[in-house]
Amino acid sequence: MIDPRDYVLSNATLVLPDRVVEAGWVAVADGVIAEIGEGAAPETGIDLAGDYLIPGLVELHTDHLEAHFAPRPHVRWHPLASVMAYDAQIAAAGITTVFDSLRAGSDADSASIGEDLIKLAEALDEAKSAGHLRVDHRTHLRCEIACEDVIEQVEDFSHRFPIHMMSLMDHTPGQRQFSDLETWRRFYMRRKPMSEEDADRFIRQRLELHATHAAPNRRRLIDIAGGVGAVLASHDDATAAHAAEAVENGVAIGEFPTTLEAAEALHGAGIGVMMGGPNVVRGGSHSGNIAAEQLARAGVLDILSSDYVPASLLMSAFQLPQRAPNIDLPTAIRTVTLTPAEATGLGDRGAIAPGLRADLVRVHLAGETPIVRQVWRQGRRVS
């Protein structure tokens, strides 16, 4: 069956960038939004029965491909099969543009899959070239700056594949997300059981790597990002000094700041503050850092990411107005559509407006739970 390219979606509750239209319609022509209106549609179309119609979600940071490729410790699944399962889940979550988070830098713990970076990139490229993918996939390299081999891996990758976004990460004990060593011990020793003596040895090794590699690797990665035109992101900023460093580095997005101080400094400098959807849904950070809703109430939350649960992106956007009364639904939906699109230079999507891509999601509310019923990417039904 060939999908129709011209049609009208009618009887919809439209979430526009600045308002909600209780009864509206959208006309799609050749994959683009041709016209929008209120009241009765000009012609018979697909009746959405009052469900919400929102722009396709734009996801900047998801670790979920790794969950399909490495479903158990020391297990690596078939790369193409992993990509296809991941793509299907992303589409079903209402995401039409995804920045696939791929780790660069062989971390010192066994959770790292940095050595499999090229395998996953090749599988994504194969699926895209063959037209198998439902979603528009782009690349987000998560670069662990204290690793010995991160520059080698990123340079090799950049010669073979496009890089659209790069984040500068530092998970060294005593740094950023783990500025409190006891927090690091609780988090890592639960994932990788070790004795206190082994933990102390591990911390010393990581600190040595950081002292040797972090600063020069940061400078080189910034140069690479500039050379390939990748949007740069900082990660786990904890202080105003971290935010100032992000400004100096030319960062556009601040991923998961751990304190209000850092988030306010990033936001004040015009850097988009991004937090995780699971943080909103759970009511706080799983690692004890600041709650996303606290940043929302303070007016310094710009972007939401699904992080490790794809379905959390839509759920967190619909929950945000309840968590932060100063945020209405259009503002909340912008955090998962228009704002991340603009932050990454994608001016052709992220809103229901004439001339933009017909990336659209039909959402039904089951009580307070948003349920994805239909998804269109460039006018084509993908879920």
For the chain, what are the domain ranges? 1-55+349-383, 57-348
Distance CA 356, CA 31 (A): 9
Output the pLDDT for position 188. Answer: 61
Cα end-to-end span (Å), the chain: 15
Output the pLDDT for position 7. Answer: 96
Output the pLDDT for position 167. Answer: 97
Q: Which two tokens stand for residue 43?
A: 């012609």
Output the pLDDT for position 169. Answer: 92
Q: Which two tokens stand for residue 116?
A: 């499999």
How confident is residue 88, by pLDDT bands cut at 50, 70 and 90?
very high
SS3 61: strand
pTM of the model: 0.91
Output the pLDDT for position 210. Answer: 81
Output the pLDDT for position 54. Answer: 98
User: Does the pLDDT at position 219 exceed 50?
Assistant: yes
Output the pLDDT for position 174. Answer: 63
Decide: residue 2, CB within 10 A, 0-12 exposed, 13-18 middle, 19+ buried.
exposed
User: Does the pLDDT at position 317 exceed 90?
Assistant: yes
Q: What is the mean pLDDT of residues 67-83?
A: 92
Output the pLDDT for position 43. Answer: 86
Residue with tokens 């129709």: 4
How confident is residue 1, by pLDDT bands cut at 50, 70 and 90?
very low
Q: Which two tokens stand for residue 15?
A: 């979430």
SS3 91: helix
pLDDT digits (tens, 9 = 90+) for 30-74: 999 999 999 999 888 899 999 999 999 999 999 889 889 989 888
User: If residue 30 lies in a helix (H) or strand (E), which one and from where to where?
Assistant: none
Q: Are 58 and 350 in contact (CB under 8 A)?
A: yes
DSSP 8-state code for residue 56: P
Which residues, 6 or more positions from 299, have their beta carbon under 8 angstroms from its beta carbon? 267, 326
Distance CA 333, CA 317 (A): 6
Q: Considering the chain, what percentage of its residues have pLDDT values greater than 70?
A: 89
Output the average pLDDT for the chain: 91
How confident is residue 162, by pLDDT bands cut at 50, 70 and 90?
very high
Torsion of CA 177, 180, 181, 186, to 10 degrees: -70
Greatest extent of the chain over all pairs of C-alpha atoms, in Å: 73
Q: Which CATH class is domain 57-348?
A: alpha beta
Query: Which CATH architecture group holds 1-55+349-383?
Result: Roll (2.30)
